Amino acid sequence: MIACSNGENLKLAERFAAQAQSQALHAQVLDLTALDLPLFTPRALAAGAPSDLAPLQQKLAGATRWVICAPEYNGTIPPVLTSAIAWLSVQGDDFRALFNGKPVAIATHSGGGGHAVLAALRLQLAHLGAHVVGRQLVSNNASPAKDESIADLIHRLKQLQPLQP
């Protein structure tokens, strides 16, 4: 479970982890905001990979499936996730290697509509080769995430088989 904020989306990721565990899956929450990943730029890349990048890459590579919980920032993906994806995509010779064939579910708790971040995220993940679950979860203060919706998304995610190397 990848949380892209330390507020409501972290809480949402924790709910997904609890539901995954209740469906006999191993689940761990990864809070991107707790990592020391600087903004990705060509100058930052030239200075070398940040120390938190290799452990992040290992954790994500070791996970057979992901759930990404990201808030909408100005109608798109939050900077912490965009930067992390950029850092991860320049490691090695194949920028899609970490993402290719990875089953991913996407969810948001956003102050606004939340649909724009999920559309942008779906497009980016598809470009990277991930298999994104067709159903997604949109929640906000007026319409909180329902336990049965989270359970259904975990069930659907379990149905997708990761690409074997």
Q: What domain range includes position 127?
A: 2-159
Mean pLDDT of the chain: 95
Domain with 19 in it: what CATH number?
A: 3.40.50.360
- Give the residue, 112 or 53, on which the prediction is more confident: 53
Q: What's the pLDDT at 113? A: 87
Specify the pTM.
0.96
CA distances 146 to 41, 68, 87, 137, 149, Å, are 38, 17, 33, 9, 5
- How far is residue 49's CA from residue 90's CA, in Å, rounded to a whole number? 10
Residue 99 lies in a domain: yes
- How far is residue 110's CA from residue 153's CA, in Å, rounded to a whole number? 18
Q: pLDDT for 47-56, tens place per residue?
A: 999 999 999 9
% of the chain surpassing 90 pLDDT: 92
Residue 115 lies in a domain: yes
- How far is residue 66's CA from residue 154's CA, in Å, rounded to a whole number? 10
CA distances 13 to 8, 31, 95, 114, Å, are 9, 9, 26, 16
Asked whether 60 and 85 are in contact (CB, 8 A), the reply is no
Q: How confident is the model at residue 69 (pLDDT cuts 50, 70, 90)?
A: very high
- How far is residue 113's CA from residue 136's CA, in Å, rounded to a whole number? 13
Q: pLDDT for 117-151, tens place per residue?
A: 999 999 999 999 999 999 999 999 999 999 999 99
Residue 164 lies in a domain: no
Residue 138 lies in a domain: yes
First and final C-alpha spacing in the chain: 22
Total number of domains constituting the chain: 1
Residue 165 lies in a domain: no
Residue 80 lies in a domain: yes
Q: What's the pLDDT at 165? A: 59
